[in-house]
Amino acid sequence: MRILSGIQPSGTIHIGNYFGMVKKMIESQNDGELFAFIASYHALTSVKDKAILEQNTFEAAANFLALGMDPEKSTFWVQHHVKEVLELYWILSNHTSMGLLERAHSYKDKTSRGIQANHGLFSYPVLMAADILLFDSNIVPVGKDQIQHVEMTRDIATSINHSYKQELFVLPESKVDEEVSTVPGTDGAKMSKSYGNTIDMFNTKKKIKKQVMGIVTDSKELEEAKEWETCNIYKLSELFMNEVELKDLQKRYENPGEGYGHFKLSLLEKINEHFAPYEEKRAHLLENPKEVHEILAYGASKASKIAAEKMRIVRDAVGLI
């Protein structure tokens, strides 16, 4: 079973990204053959700054490797290192109706938020279909907002299979993890870099402390009993503490004597403890870019072999001799 996942490169990564996506993806290496790539071509639709795109791509690679992406077990590469995807994108474009793309929610959302419509943004789902179909992917783990893109991939694959009267492409299934709940930010709303309410995974100790100390609470005094059920500190602590630790924390809320500052420090300690094992590896990778580039080149060579063979079959099927 092939699992394929594309990740938009983003430099900073917060604990919402981690519990919502990254952790599951790393764990999925045990469920099947994982193909994971950094979606650098897709990022061009929103990042128009050379230095930022380069830095984000590199940091995303270092982050995933530090967090347990295993380049031997899985195939991990940067999208633009395997150029066949663009050739397939063109072939698929000729089997993608305008109507299908016009119905894409994410395109409509982005343009309604004022992002300028251009061809890259409009045809984003075709490139995503090429990513998925090039590797005969069976399962595509995605967030809810990406389900429609996988459905569109199936439509495109069905249309082209029908045109050439053969099972040229595997029809992928999206997999949405209903269990993963939304991680709240420091203000209680969904944690998101666009809301400025994140707790970063890898940042300076000082910055992370500042973020944790900024968690919004009510204004109960030390000598008052506090409600853990509705408290943002408690909700975030649930991600890092085991049952015994949580029971203990509940008691601390219920017994007067401690303030929210104390609970924040307990959470901070757990966060630091949780990510410490990865930090060393990440620091090593950031200081040794050559090592990262070699790992990515190795991933691209593994992905290229599969892509080249698939494109040989596709070209032959459509008459590109």
Binding piece for ligand ADP, criterion CB under 6 A, among 12-20, 85-93, 231-239, 290-298: 12-20
Quick check: 5 binds ligand TRP (CB under 6 A)? yes
Residue 255 and residue 225 in contact, taking contact as beta carbons nearer than 8 Å: yes
By CB under 6 A, name the one of 6, 9, 16, 184 that touches ligand TRP: 6
In the complex, minimum distance from the CB of residue 284 to ligand TRP, in angstroms, rounded to a whole number: 27
Torsion of CA 192, 195, 201, 202, to 10 degrees: 130
User: Mask 144-163, x = binds ligand TRP (CB under 6 A)?
Assistant: --x-----------------
**For 8, which DSSP code?**
-
Structure tokens at 2: 């092939």
Please classify residue 95 by burial: count the beta carbons closer than 10 Å to its beta carbon, then call 0-12 exposed, 13-18 middle and 19+ buried.
buried
When CB distances are held under 5 to 8 angstroms depending on the partner's kind, the choice from ligand ADP, ligand TRP, none that residue 182 binds is ligand ADP
Residues in binding contact with ligand ADP, number by CB under 6 A: 14
φ, ψ at 185 (rounded to 5°): -85, -175
Structure tokens at 184: 């709240």
User: Mask 131-150, x = binds ligand ADP (CB under 6 A)?
Assistant: ------------x-------
Among residue numbers 192 through 251, which ones bind ligand ADP (CB under 6 A)? Answer: 192-194
- Angle, in degrees to the nearest 10, between helices 84-93 and 147-163: 70
Quick check: 191 binds ligand ADP (CB under 6 A)? yes
β-bridge partners, 38: 7, 78
- Please say which residue, 176 or 286, places its beta carbon nearer to ligand TRP: 176
Question: Catalytic residue numbers?
Answer: 110, 190, 193
Structure tokens at 87: 């050739």
The letter for the amino acid at 156 is I
Quick check: 40 binds ligand ADP (CB under 6 A)? no
User: Mask 254-293, x = binds ligand ADP (CB under 6 A)?
Assistant: ----------------------------------------
